[in-house]
Amino acid sequence: MSSAQESGGLNVCVMAAEALIGDAIAGALPETIDGRGLEVVRCASPEELLNHMAERVPDAVLMDVHYATGKESLLEKVLGQYHDLPVIVLGEAPSVETVVECIKKRADDFVPLHSAAERLPAKILDAAQRHRLLVEVNQLLDVYNKGGGKLGGMVGVSSAMHELYATIKSIASTDATVLITGESGTGKEMVAEAMHALSALGPRGEGEFVPVNCAAIPKDLLESELFGHEKGSFTGADKQRIGSCERAHGGTLFLDEICEMNIGLQSKLLRFLQNHTFVRVGGAEEFKVDTRVIAATNRDPLKEIEEGHLRNDLYYRLNVVPVHLLPLRERPEDIPVLAEHFLRQMCEKYQKYFFDFSPETMRLLLAYPWPGNVRELRNTIERIVVLATTDRVTPDLFPERVRKAADGKEVPKMDVEKALSTIQKALQTQEFHPESNEVLPFEEVEKRAILGAIKKCSGDISKAARRLGLSRATLYRKLDKYGVR
C-alpha cells in the first residue's frame, strides 16, 4: 500500500477475493500517476469497503470479478449508492457472458488479470481523473446553486469573475468613464449593463442604458447616431433626430468597438467627454447632458494608438477605470456553471428538459478552448437543446468541430479550492446574490425540489421518489404537471 504524496492525490480502493490477486492488483499500480500521489486502500470485506467509502468516496474502485457477478452483487450495491463512481472489474480468463454481465451492471471497464500490469495504470488514471473532475464540477455547481457566482446577467464562480463583481460594485454609483477590454464574446456589454443596473440605485435611477455598436453603423452615419441631426442637415434627413448621447441623459451610453470610430469623430467624442456638451449634425445650438460613458473594444488599445486608429488623448480619457475580461479558456472554473446556466435557460425557452451533462460531456466542455468564449458556449448549448431528442447532454450532440478540437486535449486544471473559498466569502457577506430575499411561489419551490432530486439521483425516478418521500405514481403526476417528463 502506498500513501498519497501530496494533497489532492488520487485515491483507489482495491477489493479482491483472494490475497494473491489483491497483491497482484496493488503491485500493478504505480505510486504516482501524472505527478499526483496515488493512495491504494486494500479492503478485506464488502463491509470494510462500504464503511471506507462512507468516510471518503474514492476516485475509483478496482474489484475482483467474484464481487461483481451474481444477484445483489457488491458492484450493484456500490453503484446503487455512488452512481457515477468508476468501478473497474478484474478477473482471470473471463467468459464473454461474465464481461457482458459486468458491463450491464454499469462497470466502467473489465481488465483481464494477465494484462493488468500493462493496462491498469492508464485505466486508473482515466477513471480516477474523470471522477475527480466530476466531484470538482459538482462542488462548483452546488455552491453556485446556493446563490454564489451571479451578478446581474453575469455568471461565473472563478476568482477572476468575483474580482470583476467587486470592481463593478465599487464603481457603479460613480460617474467615472470605463474602458472594457477583452476578446469577442466575453460579455463586455453585459458588464456595462450590470454597471448601469447597479448605478440605477443611485443618481441614475431614471436614465436609460443606450448601447451603440460603432462597428455596425456606417462611419458617415455614426456622428448622427451619437449626437443626432437637424431636419435637412443632409440628404435623407427629413426630420430631426435625437442622438444616443441625448437619449442616455441621466443614464449610461455604451460605446462598443470604440476603435472602429474614425479619428475625426473621436475628437468630437473627446470634447463631449470633457464637458458633456454637443451640437447636432447640421445645427448650431449646443446641448448639455448628464451622461455616463462606458466604452469597450476587443482590440489592444495601445496597439491601435501606435497604428493611428485610436487617439491617445481619447484613450486616457476613457481609461479612467480599466476593466479587462479574461477569455473563457483562462477561467475554466466558469465553464461548468455557465453550461448549466445556459442549459436551464434554453430548456425554459424551448420548453424542453435535460437533467444534466454526462461526465464525458463535461470533460469535452473543459477540453475545448472556446475561441468564441461565452457567446460560443451559449450558442452551442442552444443548438443542442433545439435539436436533441434525448434527456441527457452527451458528446455526440456537439458539432463535429468541437469534438475534434477537444479530442485528445488535456482538461485544464481548475483552481476549485480558490473558487470555492471566494464564493463562500461572498455568500457570507450576502454580497453577490441580491435575490436571496426573493419569495418563490410554492409550486416553483416544489418543482425545483423535484428536479434537484432527480438530478442528484442521476435520473433514477424510483430513487428520487424515495428521497422525496413520494410514491412513483405521485412523482410521475407532478412531472406531468410541470411538463418535464
Report which DSSP code applies to 411: P
Q: Give CA–CA dist 320/28, Å, rounded.
A: 61
Asked if 193 and 121 sit in the same domain, the reply is: no
Average pLDDT over residues 110-122: 82
Residue 293 bridge partners (DSSP): 253
Residue 93 counted as domain residue: yes
What CATH number is attached to the domain comprising 312? Answer: 3.40.50.300
Question: What pLDDT is attached to residue 312?
Answer: 96
377, part of any domain: no
Whether 67 has a pLDDT exceeding 80, the answer reads: yes
Q: Which domain holds residue 482?
A: 439-485
Residues 272-297 have pLDDT tens digits of: 999 999 999 888 899 999 999 999 99
pLDDT at residue 423 is higher than 50: yes
Domain count, the chain: 3
Q: Flag whether 180 is in a domain.
A: yes
**pLDDT category of residue 13 using cuts at 50, 70 and 90:** confident
> Which of 196, 259, 261 lies closest to 226 in space, CA to CA?
261
* CA atoms within 13 A of residue 449's CA, in its CB half-sphere: 14
In a domain, 393, yes or no: no
Q: Of 226-230, 290-294, 450-454, which range is least confident?
A: 450-454
Same domain, 91 and 209: no
The alpha carbon dihedral of 444, 446, 451, 453 has a sign of positive
Q: What's the rounded Cα separation, in Å, for the pair 194 and 458?
A: 35
pLDDT tops 90 at residue 43: no
Between CA 265 and CA 361 the distance in angstroms is 48
